[in-house]
Structure 1
Amino acid sequence: MNQDVIDIRLLEAFAAVMSAGSITGAARLLGRSQPVVTRQIQDLEADVGYLLFTRNGPRISPTPKGVLFHAEVERLLMGLKHIRQRANAIGAGALPVLSLAAIPALAAGFVPAALAALERKLLPSQVHVQALSAENVVQSVLSQSVDFGLASLPIQHPGLDMQWVCEVPCVACLAMDHPLAKKKVIRLRDLAGVRLLTMANPYRLRRRVEEALEREGVVPAEVIDTNASLTAIAMAKQSLGIAVVEPVLTSSLPVEGVVTRPLDVSIPFLFAAIAPTGRELTPTVAALNDALRAAVALMPGAKLHSGAAALAEAGDETSEFEKAPS
């Protein structure tokens, strides 16, 4: 880069073009003229030293570097927005803005219930909830752009405090009229020769599912994977296969037309509540932490592990957790 600091107006122009898909649309969003936005994009490209968009007549498309850069810009602009809101709250003597990030299943499954359980006096007027991948939840907590996070394991970083870890067995989701829906327990061997609906990330739940299938000598006929368990459940509803997912959504937001059955083999799903190391929880975050812990404990088969046990066992997030005290 040619300068140490990039003009925030250039970043706003870039983010607007990415959102609108065109210079003209971005100009309308920003209330600026089209030539001004065009010039700002050109200035930003000169500043960072590479093209952010490819041009084909009036059409533009982000370059691969532009897509990567947009993720950083979006995080920065969101952080600046939160800083402004926090500054306003401090000036008004109001509760601090609450910002948290969680993987999609937990953001939809337990965060709303936990927020609803907070005393009115502890709920700020501004609350930000982001549904992100586990990796992005971790990065958001590390950068302290959020106050609190919920992410699936593995998580191992010295900059994080694990408040608690929840371990819960996965379940099978099937269409109500599926031949196996009449069974009270789905055997992993029942998955042989059928289409499996499962998670895509090979380093988290997907790995445990595949290891369990391999131990049982089960080979599904086909696989559809996705980055969200709700999508897998929705596909099960359409009789596309049997979904093996964590039970967060099936416990909190049951889907009509889908039945949930336990598996005969335990496939643990583990997730943790995390906060930045050395940062004391505010009364609101502490109350939210307690409400989340109480909510997740209601899942069938859920085991809660203390933060101390979580830190001690962070090197092996599967078998060793089964030995940890609740």
Structure 2
Amino acid sequence: MDKPPLDIRQLEAFAAVMSVGSITGAARLLDRSQPAVTRQIRELEADIGYELLHRSGPRISPTQRGVQFHAQVERLLVGLRHIREQAEAIGAATLPAFEVACTPALAAGLIPDALAAVDPTLLPEQIHIQSLSAEGVVQQVLSHAADFGLASLPVEHPGLEVHWIAEAPCVAALAPDDPLAGQEVIALRELAQRRVVTMANPYRLRRRVDDAFAAAGTIPTRMIDTNSSLTALALVRRGLGVAIVEPVMACALELQGIALRPLDVGIPFLFGAISPAARPLPPSICALNEALVKAAAGLIPGFRLHDMAGTDLLSELVYGADHHKEASR
């Protein structure tokens, strides 16, 4: 027989404990009694058949299963809140809310300018913007938890519709008093003896950075890697190295204490817009999509859109020429 659905109040109690870190704090947050929250979590654990929290006197910590379960609960509770917003929009005959998932650099670098350029009458009262890893953006769009997404490449999946793919050259970010800041173009070879700050994900931009250094015949001996362009730029401001970063956030935010210079070697940053396959974009997201391309073209030096039919070129840019040769055999 099918099991009954999980109790929403129990899920709220668990999510509150995970958010606050204590039963007492969760009870205050939910305006419930502490015994009630404790009981609801115990009942939830009994229902699903495993412990969600380690208990050591007054201290609690999530179990490994609890961490995994919390991600699902959080997604459900956010989804329920959005369903209420959609229901209210339907009742009021107003534009439905929409959800956009973006990598942090694209969210901070492009979304504000694009939204500001959209006709206000096309925007709903509620807009949700999530900053996630590129892989997280893809998963949110695939699961229809997000209506639209912006992510770095690669983004390949039969459940996605790719609306456009763009490229822009990475830049070097330096402290203004760095000796190299006086040069108009930074040669990659000059960074061999410097600490280089760049991205950590080996399957996206980091791979192209490493390939560029290898092609230049030099490998930096000192590096700091991070999953955030903003963190990389903050490290540069403190004089901790020279960063090689995507140009979107660096150019759009115009951070003080940062000098940006082009590199003598083109390291492409590739990104694109995606949505769930076979789901037409509503007018509001269509307008946002068009505004994003215009914002990127106006903000990012060297920005260009790729011909979506040029799959061989894109494959070579994303995966490298050697991969393309192997795939064509």
TM-score by length of 2: 0.92
- CA distance in 2 between counterparts of 1:197 and 1:248 reads 16
- CA distance in 1 between counterparts of 2:221 and 2:60 reads 42
CA offsets per residue over residues 52-84 of structure 1, 9 Å max, x none?
211121011112222222222211211111111
Aligned to 1:161: 161
Aligned to 1:110: 110
Deviates more, 1:51-60 or 1:235-244: 51-60
- CA distance in 2 between counterparts of 1:257 and 1:230 reads 13
1:256 is aligned with what amino acid? Answer: Q
- 3-state SS of the aligned residue for 1:260? strand
- CA distance in 2 between counterparts of 1:148 and 1:81 reads 18
How many Å apart are 1:38 and its aligned residue?
0.8
CA 1:42–1:314 in structure 2 vs 1: closer, same or farther (change >3 Å)?
Answer: farther
How many Å apart are 1:295 and its aligned residue?
1.0
Aligned ranges for residues 133-144 of structure 1 at < 5 Å?
Answer: 133-144=133-144
TM-score by length of 1: 0.93
The answer (yes or no) to whether the contact 1:163–1:306 under 8 Å persists in 2 is no
- 3-state SS of the aligned residue for 2:80? helix
Aligned ranges for residues 1-326 of structure 1 at < 5 Å?
Answer: 3=3, 5-298=5-298, 299-309=300-310, 313=314, 317=318
The answer (yes or no) to whether the contact 1:268–1:318 under 8 Å persists in 2 is no
Number of matched pairs: 320
- CA distance in 2 between counterparts of 1:80 and 1:15 reads 14
Q: Percent identity?
A: 59
- CA distance in 1 between counterparts of 2:312 and 2:96 reads 28
- 3-state SS of the aligned residue for 1:15? helix
- 3-state SS of the aligned residue for 1:47? helix
The answer (yes or no) to whether the contact 2:268–2:317 under 8 Å persists in 1 is no
CA 1:86–1:286 in structure 2 vs 1: closer, same or farther (change >3 Å)?
Answer: same
Aligned to 2:327: none
1:191 is aligned with what amino acid? Answer: L
How many Å apart are 1:49 and its aligned residue?
2.5
Moved over 6 A (4+): none
The answer (yes or no) to whether the contact 1:154–1:314 under 8 Å persists in 2 is no
CA 1:38–1:95 in structure 2 vs 1: closer, same or farther (change >3 Å)?
Answer: same
- CA distance in 1 between counterparts of 2:245 and 2:38 reads 46
The answer (yes or no) to whether the contact 2:26–2:37 under 8 Å persists in 1 is yes
- 3-state SS of the aligned residue for 2:306? strand
CA root-mean-square deviation: 1.9
How many Å apart are 1:194 and its aligned residue?
1.3
CA offsets per residue over residues 288-324 of structure 1, 9 Å max, x none?
000001111221111102455569956863558xxxx
